[in-house]
Structure 1
Amino acid sequence: MAGEIPPAQPPPGPPPRPVLWRWRRNPLRRRTDRLQTWIGLGVLIAVLAAAPVAAVLVGDAARGHYEDTARHQLQTRYETNATLTEDAPRHPEPGSDEEKQTRYPVEVRVVTREGRTRTTRAEVRPGLTADNTVRIWITADGEATERPLTSEEIRSRTMGWALLTAIGVALTGAAAHALTGLVLRRRNLAHWDTAWAETAPRWTTPT
């Protein structure tokens, strides 16, 4: 129909170019192009500066937490002898590497530091028979438990939290940059629609 303004069509996207092209002199360069470049540079600098600091702070807090946990564990649990009250299952592949790593939960009898006899369940090697003695960690109440955290485990967990923090900062920066890019792109398309609405009537011819 004559006089009807066709819908705006965004121009074809240019081929991928380095980010620095937005700083060159170019008649097609928009202010939003420069703004997006500066935002990207700012986000990059912020991530490079914040990631190490955040990793150190979180890692230090994690190390302190796990060291306190290890001290508490050493105060509330101890290693002692335990006597099996039943046979442990046999592994289907005797002598294999899998058998050496496998542990089965069985009932054992322990004597606490207060002299009380308790039964609890502990993980032992396959094939052990009743009345065999094993070394296990127990709580003050005589319940089987894990050994306290070692220095290597504390170090590993601390490094894990520090690494996760650095990755989190980087992902946050990438998300912020992507979001600002999306906002600027929508703004560009809105300006394109406005400019097209003003220009299109000049190209229409009454029939």
Structure 2
Amino acid sequence: MAGEIPPAQPPPGPPPRPLLWRWRHNPLRRRTDALRAWAGLVLLIAVLAVAPVAAVLVGDAARRHYEDTARHQTLTRYETDATLTRDAPRHPEPGSDEERKTRYPVEVRVVTRDGRTRTTRTEVRPGTTAGTAVRVWITADGEVTDPPLTAEEIRSRTLGWALLAAIGVALTGAAAHALTGLALRRRNLAAWDTAWAETAPRWTTPT
């Protein structure tokens, strides 16, 4: 009596490829495999060499830009007192964490350096009453604005641009590698089509 028939097994998957299989000499390695391996190595070296340089150059340009911006802001902005012309709205939840973080825009009155009095708007804590003086940064025209960039803000933005430059180089290298692989794959397919066109007639039985 025959034994039990074993259950069908799924076909085995493709054999695992070594990490450096394109570099090893074997009968199945195509010329395009070697080309792709060399292209990947060249692109990797290029990215490792160019990314730090790009980060330094872009970071230096960004630092100089923001330092010039900060100097201009320091010359054209100044801090002064502003007086509320009306009460700020009260928060519906007095004493809550949300109230401490909330700011309401209100109208304030400021006096510019040339002695002109004008009204503008700024954000204040909920419930601030009319007549209260708050510190604001204003332009020469008396418009409320942000304070000049600090050294920490300049450093943070500079590092951000430097990091973006390095990431941009890495993404460019990855895109170039992908396009190279796509071009070589199309070349392989074209070579297969040519080889099959030459081989197919030999498989055809004359009638």
Change (3 A) 1:117 1:42: same
Q: Report the equivalent of 2:199.
A: 199
Q: d(CA) in 2 for partners of 1:18 and 1:48?
A: 24
Q: Report the equivalent of 2:21.
A: 21
* Percent of aligned pairs with the same amino acid: 84
CA RMSD of aligned residues (A): 1.4
Q: d(CA) in 2 for partners of 1:150 and 1:78?
A: 14
Q: CA deviation at 1:17?
A: 2.5
TM value normalised by structure 2: 0.90
Contact 1:19 1:37 (C-alpha < 8 Å) held by counterparts: no
Q: Report the equivalent of 1:93.
A: 93
* Greater RCO structure (CA 8 Å; 6+ sep): 1
Change (3 A) 1:39 1:14: farther
Q: d(CA) in 2 for partners of 1:15 and 1:142?
A: 74
Q: d(CA) in 1 for partners of 2:18 and 2:65?
A: 45
Q: d(CA) in 2 for partners of 1:47 and 1:14?
A: 32
1:38-76 CA distances to partner (integer Å, 9 max, x unpaired)? 000000000011001100110011011001101100100
Q: d(CA) in 2 for partners of 1:195 and 1:50?
A: 41
1:62-121 CA distances to partner (integer Å, 9 max, x unpaired)? 011001101100100100000000111112222222222221111000111111111001
TM value normalised by structure 1: 0.90
Q: Report the equivalent of 1:10.
A: none
One-letter amino acid matched to 1:184: L
Change (3 A) 1:115 1:153: same
Q: Which runs of 4 or more aligned residues in structure 1 lie more than 6 Å from their structure 2 counterparts after TM superposition?
A: none
Q: Report the equivalent of 1:54.
A: 54
1:130 is aligned to 2:151 = no
Segments of 5+ residues of structure 2 without an aligned counterpart are 1-12
Q: Report the equivalent of 2:39.
A: 39
Q: d(CA) in 1 for partners of 2:37 and 2:172?
A: 18
Q: Report the equivalent of 2:152.
A: 152
Q: Report the equivalent of 1:120.
A: 120
One-letter amino acid matched to 2:158: T
Q: CA deviation at 1:206?
A: 3.7
| 1:63-102 correspondence to structure 2 within 5 Å | 63-102=63-102
Q: CA deviation at 1:19?
A: 4.7
Determine helix, strand or coil for the equivalent of 1:202.
helix
